[in-house]
Amino acid sequence: MTRIDWLPDMVYLHTFRGDESQFIKTLYTYFTEDFIQSSPCFRQTRLGLKRLPLRNGKEATFYHMTTCGHDEDNRELEPKRCERLRWARPVIECEEFSNSSDVKIWKSKRKGETRINLWLEEANYFVVLAQRKGYILPWTAFCIEYKHQKLKKQREFERYQKRPW
């Protein structure tokens, strides 16, 4: 048994015989169950949702958890993000689902905002939350694919461990 057996199964595009619209519809059903129809929390603080701008009738958070790219209007579907979409909520609620040491957690500043970083290192999966007054927004989730990305995240985590704020 690996330490990540507490995560839901991944959802693969190939199981939909390449039907991308059905794949996205299924992913959105999972997203709705995890973040809209229920009330997830991170350390007893409720999660809100970045709804706007809507894209194809879907919330901005869904868009950021399933696509990649720097140009907000031209992000592309990212298969690895999509496959792991069901992991986002359990990683956010990691203390409830796993040994809390499975997920490295630290805060950082980005564009003047406080971000909460959750890194499930064993699976190279990263979730970013944006802290707001009285609630938290799931911001994005992605896979860390390259060694230099892992080293950068490890250094951020270690710096925070030495001087948490």
Measured distance CA(95)–CA(44) in Å, rounded: 11
CA distances from 23 to 12, 16, 61, 73 (A): 8, 6, 17, 21
Measured distance CA(52)–CA(74) in Å, rounded: 16
For 30-46, what is each residue's pLDDT tens digit? 999 999 999 899 999 99
Task: Map out the domains of the chain as residue ranges.
Answer: 13-162
- Give one DSSP letter per residue of 51-66, joined into a string: --S-BTTB-HHHHHHH
Q: pLDDT band at 52, cuts 50/70/90? A: confident
For 103-134, what is each residue's pLDDT tens digit? 999 999 998 999 999 999 999 999 999 999 99
